[in-house]
Amino acid sequence: MHNGLIREFPPVKRELALAIDESLFPSIEGTTDWETMFYLALTFGLEDDPVDAVERMVGFVEETGERHRIEDPIQMTVATTDGRSV
């Protein structure tokens, strides 16, 4: 579950997308900031360690946004589940 956004997504979209593991790239169907965040989290290990993967994704988006001089580049609330626990 996610609620939030990447501010000024178009200027950072390409850089973020290129960080997604190329084996996951064919699964991307849309163009939204959230889909990019999800695939980045998968790239950073979402299936094995959700907390660390989401933290790494947020950090990467923040660093990328800051390089592009975007103030507060990410705002989000997120919940993850393995089907048994949240």
The verdict on residue 60 lying in a domain is yes
Predicted confidence (pLDDT) per residue in 29-74, tens digit: 999 999 999 999 999 999 999 889 999 999 999 999 999 999 999 9
Strands 2-6 and 74-78: antiparallel
In degrees and rounded to multiples of 5, residue 57 shows phi and psi of: -60, -45
The verdict on residue 54 lying in a domain is yes
Q: Give the three-state DSSP class for 30.
A: coil
Predicted confidence (pLDDT) per residue in 7-21, tens digit: 999 999 999 999 999
**Residue 46 domain boundaries:** 2-78
| Number of domains into which the chain is organized | 1
DSSP classification of residue 20: S
The verdict on residue 83 lying in a domain is no
79 vs 12: CA distance, rounded Å: 24
What does pTM read for this prediction?
Answer: 0.89
Integer-rounded Cα radius of gyration of the chain: 12
pLDDT above 90: residue 82: no
- Other CB atoms closer than 10 Å to residue 47's CB: what's the count? 9
The verdict on residue 58 lying in a domain is yes
The verdict on residue 85 lying in a domain is no
The verdict on residue 23 lying in a domain is yes
The verdict on residue 25 lying in a domain is yes
The verdict on residue 36 lying in a domain is yes
